[in-house]
Structure 1
Amino acid sequence: MTSECAIWDLRTDENFFDSKKINHSNLSHIVVKSSNPMDLLREWYHDVKKYADPNCTMPNLMNLATCNSDGEVHARNLYMRQIVNDNIHIMTDRRGTKCKDLIENTNVACTFFWCFTKNNIKYARQVRIQGIAKELNTEETQKMYSNEPLYCKIRSHLCHQGLPVEWTEAKAKHDKMYEEVLAGKNPLPMPDHVVGFEIVPHKFDYYQADGEIIGDRVVFEMKWGKWENYHVYS
C-alpha cells in the first residue's frame, strides 16, 4: 500500500488573501519617534488596547523562547506582568522547564504579535525581543504575586508545572481550595516555588504591515550603552 502526500494549501482558505483581487502594492513605513525602543512598544501596545477586539486579543500575551544547556529550544505563550525600568517582568514555577532553562541559559527571545483594524485598515504588528533573563529577588516577586488574579494564585498552590495529573483529582483539590478561600480560611500566600524573572533587552525587531502591502521592519540594537536603530527589509 502506498500513501499519497497530502498538501494543505492555506492560500485557498477564505481567510487568506485572494491573489486575483489584490492588484496593488506599496511599502509600509514604521515611524520612529524616539531612540528608546520601549517607547515604540508602549505606543503599539496602546494601539492594540484601543483598536483590537478585547474579546479575542490579549495585548500582554507574548511568546517566550528558551534554550537549555543541551541546545533544546522550548517556546510557550505567557503574560508579560509588567515593565520596570524598560525591562520585562514575568513569573513562573521554579520547578518547571522554563525556569530550568532560564537558569542554565539566560539568553531568551520574546515575540508579541498583534492584529487589529484602525481607520478601516488591517494592521499586523510583530515585536521580537532578544535579551538576558535575571532572577528577581523575593520582595519584587511578591509584589507581582500580590497583584495576581485569584485563579492564578490558586494555580500556584494547586499545580506542579509539567507533572502528569488526573483531571478529576485536580478538580476536586481545586474546588476544595476555592471553597476555603471564599470562607476566608486560606489567604493563598506566595509559595516558595513562585519565582520572577526580569528580561533585559539588547535587541528589538519591529515589523508592521498596514493592509495587504509589503511590511516594514525597524531594528534597535544596544551598542556601547546606546540604542541604535535602522530599517531592514522584511
Structure 2
Amino acid sequence: MEKDDIHIADLRREYSRAKLDEREVADNPFVQFQRWFQQALDSHVLDANAMVLATCGSDAQPSARVVLLKAFDERGMVFYTNYESHKAKDLTENPLAALLFYWKELERQVRIEGRVEKLTTQENEAYFQSRPLESQISAWASPQSQPIEDRAVLKARVEAYRRQFEHTPINCPPFWGGYRLIPHYFEFWQGREQRLHDRIIYQKSADKWVIGRLAP
C-alpha cells in the first residue's frame, strides 16, 4: 500500500442535513414512508425505489440483494422476481424478510421487517403487462439463480423467446411474479452530527402502531 493511500478506517463525514423528531412524524409509518419517498423523488435521488432485500432460508444463511420497490400501500411493499430464484427459495422456507432503503443524498435510511406473501395471479399478470416488451421476454428467458455456461446461452434464449412470441401475446410466466412484504416494524434513520443519529421506530401492537426512539 502506498503511503498516501486512504485508510478505510479514516473514511468518515458528518451528517447535518436534517433532524427527525417523534413529535413531528406521522402516526402511521406508511404515511411517514410516503413523505420520505416523495422527498427522495423530489431530490432526484438515483434509483430511489432501490432497496436491499434480506432473506434467510432453512439453512439459516442470510442472503441480501438489491431489488426494486414497485408498489406500496397499507397492505405492504411489493417487488417482483422469478419464483425459482434463490430469494424465492428462501421465502418458501422462511416467509420473513427485511428491507433497507438508503438515500445517501438525504442522509437517510428506512428499515422494514415483516412477513412475505405471494401476489395473486391477477396482480402478477396486470403488472407484467405494464412492463416493456424486452423485460417481458427477459422474464421468460432467464433461469434466474441457475448456473449457465456463458452470456451467449442467455442471449440465445432471449432470441428463441423473441421468435416464439413474435406473433402472439406474451403472458406472465407461471414461474414469475410478485411478493408483498407485510410490515410489523419500521425504522426511520436520519443522520445527525457526532454520530448521534435520530432513529424513530414503529412497532405493530395488535392493530395499532407504537412509536418509539432508539439510541444511535
The TM-score range, normalised by the shorter chain, is: 0.7 to 0.9
Residue 136 (1) aligns with residue 119 (2): yes
Considering only CA atoms, is the larger Rg found in Structure 1 or Structure 2?
Answer: 1
The answer on 1:28 being equivalent to 2:32 is no
CA shift digits 1:23-61 (9 cap, x unpaired): x999933463321101111111111111135xxx10111
**Percent sequence identity over matched residues?**
24
Where does residue 70 of structure 2 map in the other structure? 81
On the 8 A contact 1:25/1:214 being kept in 2, the answer is no
Runs of 5+ unmatched residues, structure 1: 1-6, 117-122
Distance 1:230 1:164, change over 3 A: same
Q: Are the equivalent residues in 1 in contact too, given 2:55–2:90 (CA < 8 A)?
A: yes
Q: Answer yes or no: is the 8 Å Cα contact 2:53–2:99 preserved in 1.
A: yes
Structure 1 residue 179, shift from structure 2 partner:
6.9
Give TM-score, length-normalised by structure 1: 0.79
TM-score by length of 2: 0.85
User: Counterparts of 1:26 and 1:138 in 2: how far apart (Å)?
Assistant: 43
- The aligned amino acid for 1:42 is Q
Are 2:124 and 2:178, in contact at CA under 8 Å, matched by a contact in 1?
Answer: yes
Out of 94, 97, 107, the residue aligned to residue 105 of structure 1 is 94
1:27 touches 1:216 (CA, 8 Å); kept in 2?
no
Structure 1 segment 35-54 matched on structure 2, within 5 A = 35-53=27-45
Is 81-90 or 107-116 further displaced after alignment? 81-90
The amino acid that maps onto 2:190 is Q
Q: Once the 2 structures are TM-superposed, how far is the Cα of residue 101 of structure 1 from its aligned partner?
A: 0.9
- CA drift of 1:185 comes to 2.4
Query: For residues 146-161 of structure 1, what are the structure 2 equivalents within 5 Å?
Result: 146-161=129-144
* Alignment partners' CA distance in 1, 2:100 and 2:200: 15
Unaligned stretches of 5+ residues in structure 2: none
Confirm or deny that 1:204 pairs with 2:181.
no
What does the per-residue CA deviation read over 1:170-209, in whole Å, with 9 as the maximum and x for residues that have no partner?
A: 223334545776xx52532211101221110000011012
SS at match of 2:188: strand
